[in-house]
Amino acid sequence: MKFVMLGSGRGSNAEALLRAWQQGQLGSAQPAAIFSDKPDARILELGPTFGIEARYLDPGRFKTKLTPEAEQELVDAIRATGAELIVLAGYMRVIKEPFLNAFPRRIINLHPSLLPSFKGLNGIGQAYDYGVKITGCTVHWVTGELDGGPIIDQEPVRIEPGDTLEAVEAKVHAAEHRLLPQVVRQLADEWGR
């Protein structure tokens, strides 16, 4: 099962996924490419490091979504890789219907909270500010509802008394780095049957 990763930032989740692949922990799942909407995103540096395609694709003039032309270019680029799964790993654009229709039930997202709580931006900060005792991360199917698709799996993280926001962020990121490879392997195993 080939997969592509879409990201906008430093790519720590994509790197965790690629390291798991390198160590033979993803079963039949194999990375095909990395695409970013930011020309200077660190995630693009992972391509040469792991020997896979990594490319910037211009998102167009909008800040939070793709223009129709940019969306079609991304769809074409993904189709050219032969990927069966699209992994949103810190991709900071809202995915809309034409893209969703091109890859029905083939797009997953990693979100830094236990959905359905704390959707949208800054899920870790939202949970910390609210004072919850348990937060975590979620991998879910992407639908037209922001962070509202069916949940595939979650990993809880306890917020201890005295934890700073930075400490909670570190715990959640560590959980993300475990959960995302597990889910990709699970999907590869299920689809390979």
- The one catalytic residue in 111, 140, 173, 177 is 111
Task: Find the radius of gyration of the CA atoms of the chain.
Answer: 16
Number of domains in the chain: 1
% of residues, the chain, pLDDT over 90 = 93
pLDDT in tens, 112-170: 999 999 999 999 999 999 999 999 999 999 999 999 999 999 999 999 999 999 999 99
Using CA atoms, how far apart are residues 67 and 90, in angstroms rounded to an integer? 19
Using CA atoms, how far apart are residues 136 and 124, in angstroms rounded to an integer? 8
The size of the chain, in residues, is: 193
Q: What is the CATH number of the domain that holds 118?
A: 3.40.50.170
Is the per-residue pLDDT at 96 higher than 90? Answer: no
Is the per-residue pLDDT at 193 higher than 80? Answer: no
Residue 111 designated active-site: yes
DSSP H helices, the chain, are: 12-22, 46-50, 68-81, 97-102, 123-130, 165-191
- b/e burial code for range 97-135 (CB count within 10 A of at least 16 → b): eebbebbeebbbbbbbbbbebbeeeebbebbbeeebeeb
Position 59 scores a pLDDT of 94
User: 12: domain range?
Assistant: 2-191
Using CA atoms, how far apart are residues 75 and 67, in angstroms rounded to an integer? 12
| pLDDT band at residue 192 under the 50/70/90 scheme | confident
Position 97 scores a pLDDT of 85
pLDDT in tens, 152-166: 999 999 999 999 999
For 100, phi then psi, to 5°, come to: -60, -40
Q: What is the pTM of this model?
A: 0.95
**pLDDT, averaged across the chain:** 96
